[in-house]
Amino acid sequence: MSGNSRGGQRGFLALELDGDGAHPAAWRKARHAPDELLTGSRIRSTVLAAESAGFHVATFADGPVNSRPDGMGCDVAGRLNALHRAAFAGPVTSSIVLVPEADTVYTEPFHISTQLASLDYVSGGRAGWLVAASRSAEEAAAVGRSFVEGAGLPQEAAASVEVSRRLWDSWEDDAVIRDVPTGRYLDVDKLHYVDFETPPDFAGAGYSVKGPSIIPRPLQGQLPVIAQSGLLPSAADVVLVSAPTPELLAAEVAEVRARWAGDGGRAVIGGGPAVVAELDVVLDSRGQSASARLAELDAFTSWSSSRARFVGTAAELVDFLADLLTVADGIRLHPAVLDVELEELAQLVLPKLRRRGVLKPVVQGATFRELLGLERPVSRYRHVGASAGRGAEATAAVVGSEN
Amino acid sequence: MTQHSRAKFQSSGKIQFGIFFQGVNSGTIWKAPESGSQTDFESFRRIAQTAERGLFAAFFLGEGLRLREHLGRPHALDVAGRPDAQTMLAALASVTSHIGLVATQNTTYNAPADLAHRLASLDLLSGGRAAWNVVTTDNAWTGANFRRGGYLDHADRYVHAEAFVETAKQIWGSWEDGAVSSSVSAESWAAPSHARSVHHSGQHYSVDVTPRLPRSAPYRPVLFQAGDSPEGRDFAARQADVIFSAHPKFDDAVQFRADIVSRSLAAGRGANDVQIMPASEFILGATDEGAREKKEWVRSLQIGPQQAVAYLEQFWGRELSAYDPDGPLPEIDPVVEETSETRGSGFHGAKARQLAEEWRAEAKEKGLSIRQFVSSRTSRVDATFTGSYTAVADTLAEYARVGAVDGFNISPWLIPTGLDDIVNHLVPRLQERGVYPTEYIGSTLRENLGLATPVRSESLEPVPAGNAR
Q: Domain for residue A195, yes or no? A: no
pTM score, two decimals? Answer: 0.94
Sign for the CA dihedral angle at A258, A260, A266, A268 comes to negative
Among A144, A175, A205, whose Cβ lies nearest the Cβ of B207? A144
Residue A391 CB-density burial (10 A; 0-12 exposed, 13-18 middle, 19+ buried): exposed
Instruction: Determine the length of chain A.
Output: 403
Tens digits of per-residue pLDDT, B60-83?
A: 999 999 999 988 899 999 999 999
How large is the average pLDDT for residues B290-303? 94
Question: Which candidate from A78, A124, A191 shows the least CB-CB separation from B74?
Answer: A191
Whole-number Å distance between alpha carbons of A134 and B74 = 35
Return mean pLDDT, chain B: 91
* Residue A206 touches chain B, beta carbons under 8 Å: no
Provide, as residue numbers in chain A, all residues whose Cβ is less than 8 Å from the Cβ of B186: 33-34, 73
Please state whether the peptide bond connecting residue A91 to the residue before it is cis, i.e. omega within 30 degrees of 0: no
A170, A185, A193, A202: best to mutate for the B interface, most B CBs within 10 A: A185
B247, B350 contact by CB (below 8 A)? no
In a domain, A163, yes or no: no
In this prediction, residues B173-181 reach a mean pLDDT of 92
Distance between alpha carbon A38 and the CA centroid of its chain, in Å? 21
Q: d(Cα A117, Cα A123) in Å, to the nearest integer?
A: 10
The beta-carbon neighbor of B71 closest among A88, A185, A399 is: A399
Spell out which residues of chain B touch residue A393, defining contact as CB-CB under 8 Å: none
Q: Are A341 and A21 in contact (CB under 8 A)?
A: yes
A242-281 residues touching B, CB cutoff 8 A:
none
Domain-located, residue A304: yes
pLDDT the model gives residue A385: 58
Q: What is the mean pLDDT of residues B178-190?
A: 93
Question: Can you tell me whether residue B84 is helix, strand or coil?
Answer: coil
Residues of B with Cβ-Cβ distance to A38 under 8 angstroms = 124, 180, 213-214
| Inter-chain contacts counted by CB atoms under 8 A, chains A and B | 266
Contact assignment for B76 to A65 by CB distance below 8 Å: no
**In a domain? residue A173:** no
Query: How far apart are alpha carbons A44 and A90 in whole angstroms?
Result: 10
Q: How many domains does chain A have?
A: 1
pLDDT band at B380 (very low <50, low <70, confident <90, very high): confident
Residue from the list B188, B207, B214 with its beta carbon closest to the beta carbon of A142: B207
**Residue B25 and residue A389: Cα distance in Å, rounded?**
19
Chain B: closest CA distance from residue A191 (Å):
8
Mean pLDDT of B87-99: 98
Q: How far apart are the first and last CA of chain B?
A: 26
Which residues of chain A make contact with B144, given a CB cutoff of 8 A? 208-210
Written as one string, the DSSP assignment of B232-274 is HHHHHHHH-SEE--S--SHHHHHHHHHHHHHHHHHTT--TTSS
pLDDT in the model for residue A152: 96
- Pairwise CB contact (< 8 Å): B124 & A171: no
Q: Which B residues, 126 through 155, put their C-beta within 8 Å of a C-beta on chain A?
A: 126-127, 140-141, 144-149
- Cα dist from B306 to B115, B223, B309, B310, whole Å: 39, 38, 5, 6
Q: How far is CA A273 from CA A101, A257, A260, A344, B70, in A?
A: 18, 8, 8, 30, 41
Residue of A nearest to B44 (CA): A122
Q: Give me the residues of B, 205-234, that contact A with CB < 8 A.
A: 205-210, 212-214
Which residues of chain A from 144 to 183 reach within 8 Å of chain B, CB to CB?
A: 144, 171, 175-176, 178, 180, 182-183
A 46-105 residues with CB < 8 A to B: 64-65, 67, 69, 72-81, 83-85, 87-92
Look at residue B460 in the predicted model and tell me its pLDDT: 44
In a domain, A157, yes or no: no
Give contacts of A 207-236 with B, CB under 8 A. Answer: 207-216
Interatomic CA distance for residues B100 and B221, integer angstroms:
10
Q: How far apart are CA B100 and CA A37, in angstroms?
A: 22
DSSP SS3 for B16: strand
Contact B336 A400 (CB under 8 A): yes
Residue A27 lies in a domain: yes
Domain of A21 in residue numbering reads as 12-147+222-375
Chain B, window 243-282: residues with a beta carbon less than 8 angstroms from a chain A beta carbon: none
Using CB atoms, which residue from A32, A67, A401 is nearest to B184? Answer: A32
% of chain B exceeding 70 in pLDDT = 93
pLDDT for the residue numbered B333: 87
Strand A184-186 with B275-276, pairing: unpaired
Give CA–CA dist A244/A246, Å, rounded: 7
Instruction: Give every residue of chain A whose pLDDT is below 50, as ranges.
Output: 1-4, 263-270, 389-403
Whether the CB-CB separation of B106 and B136 falls below 8 Å is answered with yes
Cβ within 8 Å, pair B80-A178: no
CB atoms closer than 10 angstroms to residue A210: 21
Name chain A contacts of B192, Cβ cutoff 8 Å.
69, 73-74
pLDDT (tens digit per residue) in B24-36: 988 999 999 999 9
Say if the Cβ atoms of B192 and A73 lie within 8 Å.
yes
Q: Do the Cβ atoms of B25 and B345 come closer than 8 Å?
A: yes
Cβ within 8 Å, pair B113-A401:
no
d(CA B407, CA B63): 22
Cβ of A74 and B64 within 8 Å? no
CA distance B72 to chain A (A): 6
Alpha helices in A82-227 (DSSP H): 82-89, 109-122, 137-142, 152-169
What are the chain A neighbours of B117 within 8 Å (beta carbons)? 81
- The predicted pLDDT at position A2 comes to 34
Tell me which chain B residues have a C-beta less than 8 angstroms from the C-beta of A37: 180
Contacts of A90 in chain B (CB under 8 A): 41, 91, 94
Of B350 and A279, more confident: A279
Measured over the CA atoms of residue A362, residue A363, residue A367 and residue A371, the dihedral's sign is negative
For A42, the closest chain B residue by CA position comes to B125
Enumerate the H helices of B18-98 as residue ranges.
41-53, 85-93
* Distance (Å) from the alpha carbon of A377 to chain B's nearest alpha carbon: 20
Residue A37 CB neighbour total at 10 angstroms: 20
- Specify whether the CB–CB gap between A75 and A371 falls below 8 A: no
Q: Which chain B residues are closer than 8 Å to A33 by Cβ?
A: 181-184, 186
- Residue B6, classed as helix, strand or coil, is helix
Residue A214 lies in a domain: no
In angstroms, the CA A93 to CA A44 distance is: 9
Distance CA A86, CA B427 (A): 34
Beta carbons of A252 and A324 less than 8 angstroms apart: no
**pLDDT tens profile B274-284:** 999 999 999 99
Q: Which of A187, A213, A399 sits opposite B317 (nearest CB)?
A: A399
Provide the pLDDT for residue A367: 98
Which chain A residues have a beta carbon less than 8 Å from that of B344?
Answer: none
For residue B423, pLDDT over 50 is answered with: yes
Give B135's strand partners: B106
Cβ-based contacts of B76 with chain A (< 8 Å): 184-188, 389
Of all residues in chain A, the one with the smallest CA distance to B121 is A80
Do A121 and B83 make contact, defined as CB atoms within 8 angstroms? yes
Q: Which of B5, B95, B6 is nearest to B46 (CA)?
A: B95
Answer whether residue A208 is part of any domain. no
CB contact under 8 A, B118 and A81: yes
User: Helix or strand or coil: residue B431?
Assistant: helix
Q: Which residues of A touch B221 (CB under 8 A)?
A: none
Residue of B nearest to A124 (CA): B41
The full DSSP string for B134-189 is: EE----HHHHTTSTT-S---GGGHHHHHHHHHHHHHHHHT-BPTT-B---TT-SSS
Q: Does A9 touch chain B (CB under 8 A)?
A: no
Contacts 24+ apart (CB under 8 A), B225-234: B225/B133, B225/B134, B226/B133, B226/B135, B227/B136, B227/B158, B231/B158, B232/B158, B233/B259, B233/B260, B233/B263, B234/B263, B234/B267
Q: Report the b/e string of A336-360 with b at 16+ CB within 10 A.
A: bbbbbbbbbbbebbbebbeeeebbb
Query: What pLDDT is recorded for position A268?
Result: 46
Domain holding A311: CATH number?
Answer: 3.20.20.30
pLDDT at site B194: 82
